[in-house]
């Protein structure tokens, strides 16, 4: 049946949105990707996976958990090739893309490379590293690793893990043991059906004395037969909210022996005699967390851009309600409220994207500095300060970026109305896959409080006149305490607004903390008691930080149409967030009520400005139809046709109704006489017949 | 393997939380359910479904979409018995419970009874109603109905639906037709594999003239064989975010004929000659929407309570981090930040619950008034005003209650850390099932704007001195414009705070609207342009409304321990929401900065107060372990044991690894020599070997 198409078609509508863009989409895209090389590599990666059968995405919503897992495993071989033959930098860009195309595979692959190999890189001695490389850890030919940290009863409190590793001096071995149910290793990605080895975190016990949690490489399965090693019990932990392509499992150890040399000894060493040597600079371990957090900030931006690509394109082609006598209905993106729903989120995704680029550069810089640093370095304290500050800031950035992204995905879903609830819109899977980012690598609330704790500390330093690290240097400027807007709402004014308010909320948290100490509370109690204020401090500081990094990036750009557009976007982000957090700006008097009305009016106007370039802006995110995997966000605008085709393809009519004869037919054909009247209560039938009788009399 | 249990066990911990509650849990529970009868009925319903095999819930996370649908159908027969033999009131309470136990079944059953039968009740003439009752619509013995309103390209804009119903005078029939792809009926619950008939919404066309959208009962399938009727094409729209137990489908009609008498003619009538008679009081149709919205407010409270039961019980038994030298770790519910995460949400769920009870009473009252009303009633205008006001308020309540609940579910999930991401925690399904509530029966943003439009109108009336309906009567009190707090933070002070701020934000929206009209915009354009302010007006008004209804309910209670606790909860809800929206309270000067600090400190203190009674309070929600279906929220506190048992039961070990031989073994056993070196780029292996070499030199 050939259906006629209403005019203009959705495809024509989208084409019109792309006519005469006010900036060069390619140049904008290069700016957003940090370099032309990064963009070209991404395009190459996208083309590769779009053509690879294992990376088929359109049918993913109707696969069972078992099918998803098997397909996820199919991808390993192709990626192992790249990992062993590409530079780390290129491979990281590749994984960044995989992260949004296929989060399950990203996790399953990342467990082997990011976590297990990462544990070796950061914890193994050079000889140990060579040993595992020889075993085949890099090509997965011989060793497939997983990361056994979390336990059923312990997640955030790593120091409280209860698996034990008891040194047996006689055999020069550690005995790995799960003492009770709560100490079962839980959530271990890759354990259920992929891994041969695990980096096991366990309490090291020597001569009855606990030495804290260390890492022990433990074999889980025979590499030839895949049967479990003696004393190792592994189960599948089954269905999850999302990422069902990764086989999370649980592991219980019953007196499993590993050679002493399988304890990773770069930091703490244990000698043949059981003598323990602790590392000189424990703080350096902070560095290891930075990489993961940085990549999560970038992933938050990319995942939000993916959702927004769908929602914005759909809003441009969806028409609803004709105004006046106009036959043609209005594009929903033309409604001010719909612009309000989406445009600030677009600005936020772009802001976090630029933050991710700068953070990555800072992280690489930091890694080089740390690698080159000697314990005798005269700048040691400065470097450690900067490391601590970056570490704390990255905690806040991880938390607020992942929250922002999760929120964006669901708002995008809602903005597509009912169709957003269809699995084929891809929003449900995006949400379900992304949701765990708010939990793993540190629960967001706990990370926010860590960031807040560091800000309270920085404040204490500032009061004592200490020159602070760049990320919190504004705390050295006490004139911020009562700063006022010049009413310009310029980028500089907005920056000062964030500094002023961040200054004041950090001050409030710090003063609460000091007062609690004075009232006799311990440091820990005082920190817990002021946690709400610490949380607010982290939230405001982090938002201001994102704004600052975005602003810096934009101001470094040449003056052209692209940077002009990005300045507008930066303003939208900064002012919209001021509106969202307006209470603090009013409370500390940076803006008064009239200025706040002006902020609201400016956000309205900027949303309309952003709407005018919405499609070119979204196009510059450079996400292929294969990656976004949603007919609602098709590049060519053939939304309804593609959606209908995908729904039909995914749901072929069964030859026979699966349960008509068993369940529906008896219902349709039964008569009321077959069951005795059970009692006196007047049922719906009686009541409705009565109503019908009454109405007849009307 | 018998694991030792750490002491105190999670079960002992939960028992201690229940020792010496400060109020009577049963009495509290009665208060929350509105009456002892309602509570007892609920307990009866819970026991019935816990024992019914079709209502098994523990294995639901691992069923496929097809299995879920078949099981959902199994429930029909048992419920049909009740629907025909129970009073409507009792049955509605039953469905309220089903709504949170099994949202898919609630939907599938509700399509037949709430929507299809509802369309008949509100749209059929008495003779038509009798005809369909005789056909068997009440017992589903002969007719299983569905509700064919939404189309692929039209959802919110019902008047813009494009399916046509063209009157054929010759045969006295209407011809139902889908003119193009976008007019395909879409999302039709029950269409894919359950319904025999549909209430089809279509543009009525008589002699080439459109008469607007009317409803036509159209047969879809032969009731004996279930084959599709000629000209009817139905497909399955497949996987959704949640509610996969309901078979949503699409329907395309190709010139399908129905007798003229199948058009529902209670309101608009079409005579044998094609003469159209329109109804005298179109506004009365408003009443039909109220019931659905009221039930969604109640469902929001119940669903939030279900999630909170899990999160709060888990927080009471989960221990993480020991403070000081204490071996026993702290219950996470004892951390102030965790109280901040959950206690305000508990207060909100309770507040919305009481709002639901009062709204239901108002709705029943309104229905009686409308049923008894004659067009000549001297109070007609007052009644219509009140109906319009309640209709607008219910739009805002539906929107903000469902958003609040969705937000609560995800916050509860996050508060359970990694375990919240397990399907067996039940949060993923709760979220996925509930999410659609923000979209159907009117997209929340659009409903909020409807509420805002009505508030702008009410403001216009107040300015002209008109006495307003009770829900917005505070707009008659112009002293609110510059009201100030008496610093007491009493319930009365909080109520006045909400009235003051609601007054001011509505005033702002109304003044913007008037100014836009003066600038030459049309009414529609002006309304769209001020939509952000309208949205804010609806948000603040609705929150204040919920607070007021909760406060009224609590103040009507006898003075006892239960009401004392509820007053504390009301205060927590009111002040926490003030904190959340603090910008407006500061902007309009009801609270100053110091008072706002006091608000924050009070919320902290109230969270601690609520924490002290958290478990008894949660127990009074009266939700069985079967309903909450989450080991993390077990009544007896045996969290880890039950969770482990459920994970094991749901994931038996396969006899053979499904893809070891095909995928893993070749990976483990391959050698690098089998593939030629593809080029010069330095791969990870080279880079790591270099690092290892360098380190050896350190």
Q: For residue range B554-575, what is the model confidence (pLDDT) as tens digits?
A: 999 999 999 999 999 999 999 9
What residue in B sits closest to A417 (Cα-Cα)? B439
Residue B6 banded pLDDT, cuts 50, 70, 90:
confident
- Interchain proximity B138–A235, CB inside 8 Å: no
Mark which residues 37-96 of A lie under 8 Å from B by CB: 61-62, 64-66, 69-70, 73-74, 76-77, 80-81, 83-88, 90-91
> What residue spans of B416-522 are helical by DSSP H?
427-434, 444-463, 491-518
Q: Which helix (H) or strand (E) holds A210?
A: strand A209-219
B364 in contact with A, Cβ within 8 Å = no
- Interchain proximity A423–B239, CB inside 8 Å: yes
Residue A612 banded pLDDT, cuts 50, 70, 90:
very high
Interface test with B, best of A182, A252, A338, A453 (most B CBs within 10 A): A182
- Of A388 and B675, more confident: A388
Residue B677 banded pLDDT, cuts 50, 70, 90:
low
Tell me the average pLDDT across A409-427. 98
Phi, psi for B206 (deg, rounded to 5): -125, 125
CB pairs under 8 A between A and B: 445
Cα-based distances in Å from A379 to A384, A389, A465, A475: 9, 15, 19, 22
The pLDDT value recorded for residue B683 is 63
Token couple for B72: 């959902």
Token couple for A254: 């019953």
Cβ atoms within 10 Å of B694's Cβ, excluding its own: 11
The pLDDT value recorded for residue A325 is 66
Q: Which helix (H) or strand (E) holds B189?
A: strand B185-189
Burial A292-312 (b: 16+ CB within 10 A, else e): bbbbbbbbbbbbbbbbbbbbb
Tell me the average pLDDT across B495-501. 98
Phi, psi for A189 (deg, rounded to 5): -65, 130
Residues near A200 by beta carbon (within 8 Å), at least 6 away in sequence: A148, A163, A165, A176, A185, A215, A216, A217, A218, A251, A253
- Interchain proximity A532–B604, CB inside 8 Å: yes
Phi, psi for B204 (deg, rounded to 5): -80, 130
Distance of CA A549 to the CA centre of its chain: 19
Q: What is the CA radius of gyration of chain B?
A: 29
What's the rounded Cα separation, in Å, for the pair B151 and B163? 8
Residue B678 pLDDT > 60, yes or no? no
The pLDDT value recorded for residue B291 is 83
Tell me the average pLDDT across B632-640. 97
Interface test with A, best of B154, B591, B679, B695 (most A CBs within 10 A): B695
Least confident of B53-57, B83-87, B223-227: B83-87
Least confident of A99-103, A365-369, A589-593, B17-21: A365-369
Whether the CB-CB separation of A147 and A202 falls below 8 Å is answered with no
Report whether A542 belongs to an annotated binding site: no
Per-residue pLDDT tens over the stretch A40-53: 999 999 999 999 99
The pLDDT value recorded for residue A164 is 98
Residues near A478 by beta carbon (within 8 Å), at least 6 away in sequence: none
Residue B506 pLDDT > 60, yes or no? yes
Whether the CB-CB separation of A274 and A204 falls below 8 Å is answered with no
What's the rounded Cα separation, in Å, for the pair B256 and B263? 14
Report whether A150 belongs to an annotated binding site: yes
Tell me the average pLDDT across A362-382. 80
Strands B197-206 and B164-168: parallel
The pLDDT value recorded for residue B374 is 73
Per-residue pLDDT tens over the stretch A506-561: 999 999 999 999 999 999 999 999 999 999 999 999 999 999 999 999 999 999 99
Q: To the nearest whole percent, how much of chain A has pLDDT over 90?
A: 82
pTM (predicted TM-score): 0.96
Tell me the average pLDDT across B602-611. 98
The pLDDT value recorded for residue B288 is 65
The pLDDT value recorded for residue A680 is 52
B695 in contact with A, Cβ within 8 Å = yes
Per-residue pLDDT tens over the stretch A299-330: 999 999 999 999 999 999 999 988 766 678 99
Residue of A74, A336, A688 with shortest CB distance to B528: A336
Residue A690 pLDDT > 80, yes or no? no
Which residues of chain B are within 8 Å of residue A687 when distances are taken between CB atoms? Answer: 87-88
> What residue spans of B530-560 are helical by DSSP H?
531-556
Dihedral sign computed on CA atoms, order A110, A115, A120, A123: positive
Mark which residues 325-344 of A lie under 8 Å from B by CB: 329, 335-337, 340-341
B166 in contact with A, Cβ within 8 Å = no
- Of B252 and B388, more confident: B252
B121 in contact with A, Cβ within 8 Å = yes
What's the rounded Cα separation, in Å, for the pair A421 and B242? 8
Least confident of A9-23, A679-693, B117-131: A679-693
Per-residue pLDDT tens over the stretch A432-486: 999 999 999 999 999 999 999 999 999 999 999 999 999 999 999 999 999 999 9
Interface test with B, best of A83, A321, A655 (most B CBs within 10 A): A321
Average pLDDT, chain A: 93
Q: Which residues pair with A147 in a beta bridge?
A: A199
Catalytic residue among B70, B441, B511, B552: B441
The Cα of B386 is separated from the nearest Cα of chain A by a number of Å equal to: 24
The pLDDT value recorded for residue B316 is 98
Tell me the average pLDDT across B216-230. 97
Residues near B484 by beta carbon (within 8 Å), at least 6 away in sequence: B589, B590
What residue in A sits closest to B183 (Cα-Cα)? A3
Please list the active-site residues of A. Answer: 441
């Amino acid at each position: 049946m050939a259906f006629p198409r209403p005019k203009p078609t959705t495809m024509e509508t989208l084409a019109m949105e792309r006519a005469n863009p006010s900036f060069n989409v390619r140049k904008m895209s290069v700016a957003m990707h940090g370099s032309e090389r990064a963009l070209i590599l991404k395009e190459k990666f996208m083309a590769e996976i779009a053509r690879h059968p294992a990376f088929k995405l359109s049918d993913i919503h109707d696969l069972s958990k078992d099918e998803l897992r098997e397909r996820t495993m199919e991808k390993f071989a192709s990626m192992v090739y790249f990992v062993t033959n590409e530079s780390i930098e290129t491979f990281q860009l590749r994984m960044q893309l995989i992260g949004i195309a296929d989060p399950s595979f990203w996790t399953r692959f990342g467990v082997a490379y990011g976590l297990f190999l990462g544990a070796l890189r950061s914890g193994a001695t050079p000889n140990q590293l060579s040993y595992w490389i020889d075993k085949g850890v890099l090509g997965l030919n011989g060793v497939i690793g997983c990361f056994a940290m979390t336990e059923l009863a312990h997640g955030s409190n790593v120091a409280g893990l209860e698996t034990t590793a008891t040194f047996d001096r006689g055999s020069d071995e550690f005995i790995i043991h799960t003492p009770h149910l709560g100490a079962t290793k839980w959530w271990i990605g890759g354990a259920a059906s992929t891994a041969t080895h695990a980096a096991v975190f366990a309490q090291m016990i020597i001569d009855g004395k606990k030495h804290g949690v260390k890492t022990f490489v433990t074999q889980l399965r025979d590499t030839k037969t895949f049967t479990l090693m003696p004393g190792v019990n592994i189960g599948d932990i089954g269905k999850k909210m999302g990422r069902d392509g990764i086989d999370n499992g649980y592991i219980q150890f019953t007196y499993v022996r590993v050679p002493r040399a399988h304890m990773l000894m770069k930091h703490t060493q244990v000698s043949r005699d059981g003598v323990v040597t602790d590392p000189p600079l424990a703080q350096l371990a902070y560095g290891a967390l930075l990489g993961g957090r940085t990549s999560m900030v970038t992933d938050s931006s990319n995942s939000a851009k993916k959702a927004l690509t769908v929602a914005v394109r759909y809003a441009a082609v969806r028409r609803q309600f004709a105004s006046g006598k106009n036959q043609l209905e209005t594009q929903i993106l033309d409604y001010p409220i719909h612009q309000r729903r989406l445009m600030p989120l677009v600005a936020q995704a772009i802001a976090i994207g630029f933050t991710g680029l700068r953070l990555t550069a800072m992280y690489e810089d930091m890694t080089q500095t740390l690698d080159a640093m000697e314990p005798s370095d005269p700048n040691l304290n400065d470097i450690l300060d900067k490391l601590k500050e970056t570490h704390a800031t990255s905690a806040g950035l991880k938390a607020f970026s992942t929250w922002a992204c999760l929120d964006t995905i669901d708002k995008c879903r809602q903005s597509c109305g009912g169709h957003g609830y269809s699995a084929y819109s891809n929003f449900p899977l995006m949400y379900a896959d992304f949701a765990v980012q708010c939990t793993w690598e540190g629960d967001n609330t706990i990370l926010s409080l860590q960031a807040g704790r560091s800000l309270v500390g920085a404040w204490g330093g500032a009061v004592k006149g200490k020159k602070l690290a760049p990320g919190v240097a504004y705390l050295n400027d006490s004139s911020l305490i009562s700063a006022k807007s010049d009413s310009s709402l310029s980028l500089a004014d907005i920056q000062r607004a964030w500094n002023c308010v961040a200054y004041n909320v950090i001050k409030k948290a710090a003063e609460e903390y000091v007062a609690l100490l004075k009232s006799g509370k311990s440091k820990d109690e005082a920190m817990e008691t002021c946690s709400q204020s610490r949380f607010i401090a982290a939230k405001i500081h982090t938002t201001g930080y994102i704004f600052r990094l975005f602003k810096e990036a934009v101001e470094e750009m040449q003056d052209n149409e692209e940077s002009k557009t990005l300045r507008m976007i930066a303003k939208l982000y900064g002012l919209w967030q001021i509106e969202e957090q307006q209470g603090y700006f009013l409370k500390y008097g940076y803006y008064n009520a009239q200025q706040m009305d002006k902020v609201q009016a400016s956000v309205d106007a900027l949303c309309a400005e952003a709407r005018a370039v919405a499609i070119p802006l979204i196009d510059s995110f450079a996400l292929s139809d294969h990656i976004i995997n949603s007919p609602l966000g098709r590049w060519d605008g053939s939304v309804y046709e593609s959606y209908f085709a995908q729904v039909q393809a995914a749901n072929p009519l069964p030859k026979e109704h699966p349960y008509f004869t068993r369940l529906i037919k008896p219902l349709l054909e039964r008569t009321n006489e077959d069951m005795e009247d059970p009692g006196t209560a007047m049922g719906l039938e009686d009541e409705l017949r009565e109503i019908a009788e009454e109405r007849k009399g009307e």
